[in-house]
């Protein structure tokens, strides 16, 4: 759908300098942009790239003079660009359809304007909210609940009774509600601890491709509103992740760990079981947080075992000074063997 | 199916204190339990949680007096609870069905009481044993063999000739028998080393969601009886994993490594190629075991490169003492520059 | 298809000693070989294994005398074996078929000799080149392009507009072209940065099972010719990977990082965003390369943060000498307290 620069300025609360009737039909990088694409200037060092772009409309910081371009001035141009993109790229209302090859159990409840792709399987007792789109090959197990305006890309699997909120996006191959990994050894073999708990995904969560999130064992796994989870992440039974937290790719969170609000977890981080990451904590890429550990509010940790970033850097610096220490030690030994040294 | 406390007591070899006719219909956590759910008391610190529960029947250690509850006394209550759950949660015999949309090659051999979900594809020469359930979208490649009482959740892929034993459970999205990763560089490009070996999964193995297990290159990949593999684990060609070993999520085992019986591998561990982990070895989370390394029977290792846990802890303690050493070194240098020091 | 030793000798440029009419029908390890399987002798320590094999034909280094066997002499026997296997194992031309359950949009363009498995879904505007095989449950999103002679195993998902070159092999469960992971926080929540860029996979690339490769955000993700990617690897938006590079299992490459030609990346390596690995660089297993770091041409790095292998080994050696330093320090302190010491 076409938009105008003036319309975007009002939507962003931006000051418009230039042509309020300029038409915006997409978003792009400066090099790939057509004249009707919106671009942004995030840093002064990109000024020339942006100035040379074919795009006629730019989101930029206040005071950015740019010849022959319409400028939307906002305090945080990258944020303004992302917010504008949410409007510009919003998918047009497509004709709703349920593919005739989708298998929908008679006891499933689909809102009338739901889209279902080919070969999707929707079991008994499933509920799908208004305007949600279920991709090809999705499997929604018995009793699963999907809120309004969700988007499941092809090949998403929900085990029985998994619950998704509204405006949730799940990428291809993700598995939600699989059995947790818990056993008790006895009589010469592992007995499975029951994995029959719940799994609840809040509103506006996004879940990456081939990510796996286990259901609770006896209690619940809970991913709160606004959480973003990258590809190939593992979230174990009984984990709770607070609102607006971010988990980068290939990170693993073990059983019964709790992350607060606004926690940031880098890629390939391992969080062992029964850990607590308080609100706003940050775990750097590849950090390893040992069993039962608490990371305090707003603290940034690094390394394995995870420690405060400052301490990590100091230790690494000390480690690099070891050759120097060894030399000073040898010198001292030489002197001390000759007491008349100095 | 309903059970009674008396029946469970006999099954567990437990001493029953209370009402042997108490009906058990499920298992639960103390807070979520209904009166007919079985709960357990694993630790004295949970006594109040358990005592307040609506559940009428508790698995607990000998000597646990609990007013108004029927107690099943066993030495290891968590084990007793898990074993009881195996009975209580055993799925009732459901009507066997082969979904009409499943595509089953004429040359496949399915026992008469096999269940096949919608859109499963079963190629020529496949054998599926009695009472096994093949989920929606499963793909069983040419010649694959599945034993009795297996359960494949939706979207499991078996490459040609993969073999599963009895009572194997495979979670959604797992891939079994894919090509190993081996190339020989020559004439300016990588040539694939043949990946045509076998893959054998033993009885009572459980495999997590989106886990990948490669077939052997020229020989076999073997996962022995009772092994439990978590989500997103990678097992490479020619690997052998001994009975009752446990591999936590996101761990990787490289080509031709061998794990003995009862090995425990934490999450995100990397085991390089041609390693040996002898019976009962333990690799802590995120450990990295270098190429060709042997971990001795019963040894616990930690860190990268993996070393015995004691040594890892000592080294970490030494690392933390470096500032102290530096200070002592400086003090010595000052004294030595003034030989009349002390 | 049957081959003869003489034919293979000509194909490999090998010197043949023995029976040029010996028939070759497969490849195998020495222990599993039938008489008509080709085997190889890669190292003198395997001489007895090879000599005892039932196989009649061996690829070996020049000067390898072996009674009763036909020997194909090449400088690099493992390479010769892999190259021979490419010929011997080449799949016979099977009857081309498009399964009647495949859903192919009217606007898709399939070369006439393409094979499509059951329940594949091919959307509008897709192009599939000659002789390519699309497995069961594959999903090819709108506008995707697949070159000639590709092989997609079951359950591969291509998001819209993903482009694959020729002779590309993709294993089960891989996801290509999913949204990158980028958000801008503002007004109390994460806004998705647009993830609408391209994804291009070059000729002769192989991609492992359940691997995920994101499309570019505004620009492109590019995997160049001959790259080999193992299972469960994550490749983020705007990454570029140069020709013939190798990425082992569970490695992650973050946004906008660039790998040159012939780069080797071990398993579980984490490459943060905006890194550069120049041609021929090597990152050891579990290495962690911090944001923005450059690894120079041909350099081998290890550890987290990644450093040159020599330095890593030295530091580790120093770390192990700390108890010795502590003892020497204590001895010096004792002496210095007694100035008449020596």
Cα nearest neighbour of B290 on chain C:
C285
Å from C256 to nearest chain B CA? 24
Sequence-distant (6+) residues with CB within 8 A of A140 are A108, A120, A121, A122, A123, A126, A128, A134, A146, A158
- pLDDT tens by residue, C68-89: 999 999 999 999 999 999 999 9
CA distances from C163 to A3, C91, C176, C197, C203 (A): 30, 25, 9, 12, 10
Contact B212 C231 (CB under 8 A): yes
| pLDDT level of residue B320 (50, 70, 90 thresholds) | confident
The torsion region of residue B253 among left (phi > 0), alpha (psi -120 to 50) and beta comes to beta
At A27 the pLDDT is 97
What is the model's pLDDT at position B337?
66
pLDDT at C94 over 80: no
Alpha-carbon span B290 to C231, nearest angstrom = 20
A297-323 residues labelled b (16+ CB within 10 A) or e (exposed): eebbbbbbbbbebeebeebbebeeebe
In whole angstroms, give the CA distance from residue A298 to residue A281. 4
Task: Using CB atoms, pick whichever of A183, A219, A304 lies closest to residue B29.
Answer: A219
Phi–psi pair at C189, nearest 5 degrees: -155, 165
Determine the distance in angstroms separating the CA of B139 from the nearest CA of chain C, rounded to an integer: 7
Query: For the residues of B302-336, what is the DSSP string, one character each?
Result: ETTTTEEHHHHHHHHHHHHTHHHHHHHHHHHHHHH
A-chain CB neighbours of C188 within 8 Å are 244
Residues of A annotated as catalytic (active site), given as ranges: 237
As a whole number, mean pLDDT of residues B208-216 equals 98
B10-48 pLDDT, tens per residue? 999 999 999 999 999 999 999 999 999 999 999 999 999
Cβ atoms within 10 Å, residue C334: 10
CB C214 within 8 A of CB A231: yes
Distance CA C324, CA C334 (A): 16
**A270 to chain B: which residues are within 8 Å by CB?**
250, 267-268, 285-286
Cβ–Cβ < 8 Å for C256, C238: yes
pLDDT for A228-260, tens place per residue?
999 999 999 999 999 999 999 999 999 999 999
**What is the average pLDDT across B152-178?**
98
Cα–Cα distance measured from residue B333 to residue A331, given in angstroms and rounded to the nearest whole number: 9
Condensed to tens digits (0 to 9), the pLDDT of residues C286-312 reads 999 999 999 999 999 999 999 999 999
Q: What is the pLDDT of residues B119-141, one digit of tens each?
A: 999 999 999 999 999 999 999 99
Contact at CB, A218 and B319, closer than 8 angstroms: no
CB contact under 8 A, C79 and B184: yes
Which residue of A189, A193, A336 is in closest CB contact with B204? A189
pLDDT over threshold 60, residue C341: no
Give which of C81, C228, C126 is closest to C167, Cα–Cα: C228
Rounded to whole angstroms, how far apart are CA atoms A168 and C182? 16
Cβ contacts (< 8 Å) between B210 and chain C: which residues?
Answer: 173, 210, 232
How many angstroms separate the CA atoms of B278 and C204, rounded? Answer: 39
- With cut-offs at 50, 70 and 90, classify the pLDDT of residue A90: confident
Q: Report the C-alpha gap between B200 and B161 in whole angstroms.
A: 9
Distance CA A4, CA A70 (A): 11
Instruction: Return the pLDDT at A342.
Output: 41
Closest by Cα among A270, A242, A245, A240 to A256? A240
Q: Which pLDDT tens digit goes with each residue over C19-51?
A: 999 999 999 999 999 999 999 999 999 999 999
Nearest to B254 by CA among B291, B309, B287: B291
Calculate how close chain C gets to A188, using CA atoms only, in Å. 32
> Cβ separation of C184 and A153 shorter than 8 Å?
no
Report d(CA A206, CA A199) in Å as an integer: 15
Q: What pLDDT, on the 0 to 100 scale, is given for residue A195?
A: 96
Confidence of residue A77 (pLDDT cuts 50, 70, 90): very high
Instruction: Give the distance from residue A244's alpha carbon to the nearest chain B alpha carbon, in angstroms.
Output: 24
Domain boundaries, chain A: 3-88, 103-310
For residue B274, list chain C residues with Cβ-Cβ distance below 8 A.
none
Give the position of tokens 């209550």: B77
pLDDT more than 70, % of chain C: 97
Of B119, B30, B127, which is closest to residue B69 (Cα–Cα)?
B30
Distance set, CA C146 to CA A155, A332, C108, C202, C214 (Å): 20, 70, 11, 10, 17
Which of A186, A325, A332 has the CB atom closest to B326's CB atom?
A325
For A217-228, how does the pLDDT look when each residue is reduced to its tens digit (9 = 90+)? 999 999 999 999
Of chain C, the end-to-end C-alpha distance in Å amounts to 84
pLDDT at C307: 95
Residues in CB range of C100: below 8 A, 6 or more apart: none
Distances (CA, A) of B34 to B25, B27, B30, B52: 9, 9, 9, 12
* pLDDT (0 to 100) of residue B169: 98
Q: Please say whether the beta carbons of B145 and B163 come within 8 A.
A: yes
Looking at C3, C153, C237, C244, which residue is catalytic?
C237
Contact between A339 and C342 using a beta-carbon 8 Å cutoff? yes
Partner-chain residue, chosen from C121, C190, C339, that has the shortest CB–CB distance to A136 = C121
How much is the pLDDT for A37?
97
Residue B277, pLDDT score: 98
> Which CATH code for domain C103-310?
2.160.10.10
Check B210 against A184: CB less than 8 A apart. no
Predicted confidence at residue C90, as pLDDT, reads: 87
Residues of A in contact with B118 (CB under 8 A): 103, 121
Q: Which of C18, C4, C22, C66 is nearest to C40 (CA)?
A: C66
Closest among B280, B274, B284 to B306, alpha carbons compared = B284
Q: Specify the DSSP class assigned to residue C309.
A: H
**Confidence class for position A337, pLDDT limits 50, 70, 90:** low
Contacts of C58 (CB under 8 A, 6+ apart): C38, C39, C40, C41, C50, C64, C66, C69, C70, C71, C72
A196-200, A320-324, C20-24, C143-147: range with lowest mean pLDDT: A320-324
Q: Is the pLDDT of residue C162 over 70?
A: yes
Would you call B250 and A252 a contact, using CB atoms and an 8 Å cutoff? Answer: yes
* Domain at C3-88, CATH from 3.40.50.410, 3.40.630.30, 3.40.1390.10, 3.40.50.300: 3.40.1390.10
pLDDT at B342 over 80: no
Neighbours of chain B (3+ CB pairs under 8 A): A, C
pLDDT reported for residue C91: 74
Of A137, A194, A252, the CB nearest to B89: A194
The reply to whether A103-310 shares the fold of A3-88 is no
Confidence of residue C342 (pLDDT cuts 50, 70, 90): very low
Counted across chains A and B, CB pairs separated by less than 8 A come out at 182
Supply the pLDDT for residue C335. Answer: 82
Residue positions of B annotated with a catalytic role? 237
Dig out the tokens for B95 from the structure: 């009507």
Q: How many CB atoms lie within 10 A of CB C226?
A: 24
B45 burial level (CB within 10 Å; 0-12, 13-18, 19+)? exposed
CB contact (8 A) between residue A250 and residue C254: no
Instruction: Name the one residue in this structure whose structure tokens are 């020529």.
Output: B124
pLDDT at B93: 64
A312 to chain B: closest CA residue: B320
Strand locations in A272-314, DSSP E? 276-277, 282-283, 288-289, 294-295, 300-302, 307-308
Chain A nearest CA to C166, separation (Å): 24
Contact call for residues B338 and A342 (beta carbons, < 8 A):
yes
Count of CB contacts below 8 A, B vs C?
A: 182
Residue A250: name the closest of C47, C253, C258 by CA.
C253
CA dist C304 and B138 (Å) reads 40
Please report which confidence band the pLDDT of residue A93 belongs to, taking 50, 70 and 90 as the band edges: low
Question: Residue B83 — pLDDT band, cuts 50, 70, 90?
Answer: very high
Confidence band of C320 (pLDDT split at 50, 70, 90):
confident
What are the pLDDT digits (tens) for A307-324?
999 999 998 888 888 888
pLDDT at B162: 98
Question: So what's the ipTM on this one?
Answer: 0.95
Q: Among C205, C131, C121, C107, which residue's Cα sits nearest to residue C155?
A: C121
3-state secondary structure of A242: coil
Instruction: Give CA A61 to chain center in angstroms.
Output: 27
pLDDT category of residue A341 using cuts at 50, 70 and 90: very low
Span between the terminal Cα atoms of chain A, in Å: 84
Contact B191 C82 (CB under 8 A): yes
CB-CB neighbors (< 8 A) of C209 in chain B: 157, 175, 178, 212, 214
Say yes or no for a CB contact (<8 Å) between B231 and A181.
Answer: yes
A130-181 pLDDT tens trace: 999 999 999 999 999 999 999 999 999 999 999 999 999 999 999 999 999 9
Q: Are C79 and C61 in contact (CB under 8 A)?
A: no
């Amino acid at each position: 759908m076409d938009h105008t620069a003036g319309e975007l300025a009002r939507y962003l609360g931006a000051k418009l300098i230039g042509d309020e009737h300029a038409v915006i039909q997409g978003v792009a990088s400066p090099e790939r942009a057509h004249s009707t694409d919106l671009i942004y200037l995030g840093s002064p060092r990109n000024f020339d790239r942006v100035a040379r772009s074919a795009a006629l409309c730019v989101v930029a910081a206040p005071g950015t003079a740019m010849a022959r371009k319409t400028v939307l001035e906002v305090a945080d141009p990258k944020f303004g660009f992302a917010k504008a993109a949410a409007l510009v790229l919003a998918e047009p209302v497509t004709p709703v359809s349920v593919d005739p090859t989708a298998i929908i159990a008679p006891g499933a409840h689909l809102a009338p304007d739901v889209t279902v792709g080919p070969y999707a399987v929707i079991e008994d007792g499933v509920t799908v909210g208004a305007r949600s789109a279920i991709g090809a090959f999705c499997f929604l197990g018995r009793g699963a609940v999907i809120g309004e305006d969700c988007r499941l890309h092809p090949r998403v699997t929900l085990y029985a009774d998994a619950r998704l909120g509204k405006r949730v996006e799940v990428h291809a191959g993700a598995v939600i509600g699989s059995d947790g990994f818990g056993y008790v050894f006895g009589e010469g073999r592992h007995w499975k601890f029951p994995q029959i708990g719940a799994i609840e995904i809040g509103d506006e969560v996004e879940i990456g491709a081939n990510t796996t999130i286990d259901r609770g064992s006896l209690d619940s796994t809970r991913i709160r509103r606004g959480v973003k989870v990258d590809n190939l992440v593992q979230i174990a039974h009984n984990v709770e992740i607070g609102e607006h937290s971010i988990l980068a790719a290939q990170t693993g969170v073990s059983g019964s760990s709790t992350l607060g609000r606004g926690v940031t977890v880098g890629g390939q981080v391992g969080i062992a079981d029964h850990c607590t990451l308080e609100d706003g904590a940050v775990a750097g890429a590849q950090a390893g947080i040992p069993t039962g550990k608490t990371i305090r509010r707003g603290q940034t940790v690094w390394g394995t075992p995870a420690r405060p970033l400052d301490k990590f850097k100091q230790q690494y610096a000390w480690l690099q000074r070891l050759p120097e220490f060894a030399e000073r030690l040898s010198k001292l030994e030489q002197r001390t063997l000759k007491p008349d040294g100095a």
